[in-house]
Chains A and B, each alone.
Chain A
Amino acid sequence: MDEKDHINLLKQALAVSADAFIIFDSEKRIFFVSDHYRRVYPQNADFLTPGASVYEVFDRMAEETGVAVEDPRYKHAKDFWYDLKGQIEFPLENGRYLRVTASPLPDGQGTIVSTTDITEYKKQERALAAKQRELERALEKEQEATAVQKQFISMVSHEFRTPLAIIDGNAQLMERRPDELSGETVLKRTKAIRGAVSRLLQMVDGVLSANSLQTGMLKPVLQQFDIAALIGLLCEEQRMVHEALELALEIKLADDEVVWDRKLITIILSNLLSNAVKYAPESPKVNVSCYEQDGHIHIVVADNGIGIPEHEIPYIFEKFYRATSAASIPGTGLGLSLTQELVNLLGGTIQVHSKFGQGSSFAVLLPREVRIKDDNNSAG
């Protein structure tokens, strides 16, 4: 094989390479162009000939690819071609992506510029990045769930231990001095135990309801019933439990019949009523009103309790959040978050107005007839 054969062989090798090559001499003029390059820029095929300067080559290529001078890609590419150093990645108008690399030849003889089509690589890179973002989001969600769980565990261990300590303490006292137990003492101890048990039960109920809501197990069952009668009943219950309670009830409805989930609205209103009493001073005064306005039935529970500091109001419906003003009153921080979720489940809204030290008022707004949208995601 002579030298000419060698060169032809090399040319053929370059022609079948996935990359396209241009070799520039030390004057930055074309010395050699692989056939492949002519296929990438067919319109300039006749121009890509030995002797053409890199500046002319760049101008023609810019023209052919249709990249305007104002386009940031233009400057980026121009810097590369004029310099013939380094590497650029270049998106074309037709959606393809090129990577162009300049490699200097030894002893300053010139430069080899190789161009690779990296469209597929870029596609995979984008897909990978999207996948990674997806994973990051999933991880974030997971971390949030773990944080909530941690909060829950610390709440449970603290809030549940206190009533347990009361139960255990009373039992210990009865066990230690059984001979000294008068009927009065026994009553006092058992009353304290039962009080602590009902506090525990309330917390367990709250946790269970919150859990069944979270797992989507709570589905509203709509039925027609007399809301005025239900509110009256719930208020009466509160009056029976709290002797010092002053409760005023005002219902102004043209029609007392509503189509709601009776059980859910009972949980909602019981929560609001027991909160009103719980966060009130020695003599709680609670005003309950029910009226219709702008197509919605409003049920408002207002108290003269400790109130919520203004800057904390936006957080009170958050799970486990407890206002600083409530710190001395036992609670799980689940009640209002559960209440809001239940109201939302019925397609309603809950509003709060509060003045620190003066009292709070919670309003539940529901359409007279609740319609539950079919939830396609509910299956499974």
Chain B
Amino acid sequence: MTTILLVEDEAALAELITDELTASGYNIVYASNGKEALKKLQDTEPDCIICDRVMPVMTGFEFIELLRSVYPQYETVPFIFLTALADPRDEQAVKAFKPAAYLGKPVDFDVLHETLKRVLNI
């Protein structure tokens, strides 16, 4: 089963994504912030990480930086940024982290599915 680590501080939104992806056969591990996500990674090996861009405790950027320094083995795990920031400059800033994809909110589930298939080579 494909495991996805979902890092999103908006519980209502996380629940929706979890509902949809679970129904499509994915295994979702949820964390409400970056710190929690790092903890979850101790006993989860995700195939993909979906991460919010703006979060409390640490931003999506800070999380990915920390993740790559603490768990170098996840360097190749595809990373999908979710964001409510509508600023194109932000998309430019995100590119430095070489995410597999950058999705704006509201998330179109069709787009999410296609993106997952593409980054997971399904």
Chain A residues proximal to chain B, CB less than 8 Å: 154, 157-159, 161-162, 164-170, 172-173, 176-177, 192, 195-196, 327-328, 330
Contact = CB atoms under 8 A, between A and B. Distances in A.
5 contacts: A154-B87, A158-B84, A165-B106, A166-B10, A192-B12
B86 A328 contact: no
Interface in B67-89: 84-87
Chain B binding site: helix, strand, loop or mixed by DSSP? loop
B109 A162 contact: no
Interface of B: 9-10, 12-13, 16-17, 19-20, 23, 33, 54-57, 84-87, 104-109
A157 B16 contact: no
B13 A173 contact: no
A165 B13 CA distance: 7
Contacts of B57: 328
Given A159-B84, A196-B12, A328-B33, 8 more contacts: A157-B85, A162-B10, A162-B105, A166-B16, A170-B16, A173-B109, A192-B12, A328-B57
A167 B23 CA distance: 19
Nearest to B19: A173
A196 B87 CA distance: 23
- Among all A-B residue pairs, the 4 with the closest Cβ atoms: A328-B56, A168-B106, A169-B16, A161-B84
A295 B104 CA distance: 54
A158 B84 CA distance: 5
Given A162-B84, A169-B107, A176 B13 contact: no
A176 B110 CA distance: 10
A159 to B, nearest CB: 8
Contacts of A172: 20, 108-109
Contacts of B108: 172
B85 A158 contact: yes
B54 A328 contact: no
